[in-house]
């Protein structure tokens, strides 16, 4: 996880992402799971997809190997 964190943040920032939430307290209701949450804002949906698919972020993912289970989503926001 430490190797991933070292690579992921610069990759996300290079892609235009701004970290809004990273970890912290969680209360989950209904079918929610109270797990670590990271919320990153991008200027566009396309920019978020491009950052996720970038070589720099793939390198960060390779550092994880099978060390964690993730639920990764890109969601288009509304204005």
And the tokens for 10?
């610069």
Determine contact, residues 19/9, Cβ cutoff 8 Å. Answer: yes
If one compares 68 and 63, the residue with the highest pLDDT of the two is 63
The answer to whether the pTM exceeds 0.95 is: no
- Per-residue pLDDT tens digits for 18-46: 999 998 899 999 988 888 889 999 999 99
């Amino acid at each position: 996880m430490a190797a991933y964190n070292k690579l992921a943040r610069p990759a996300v920032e290079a892609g235009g992402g701004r970290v809004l939430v990273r970890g912290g307290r969680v209360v989950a209701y209904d079918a929610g799971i109270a797990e670590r949450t990271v919320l990153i804002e991008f200027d566009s949906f396309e920019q978020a997809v491009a950052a996720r698919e970038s070589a720099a972020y793939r390198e960060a993912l390779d550092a994880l190997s099978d060390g964690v289970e993730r639920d990764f989503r890109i969601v288009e926001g509304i204005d």
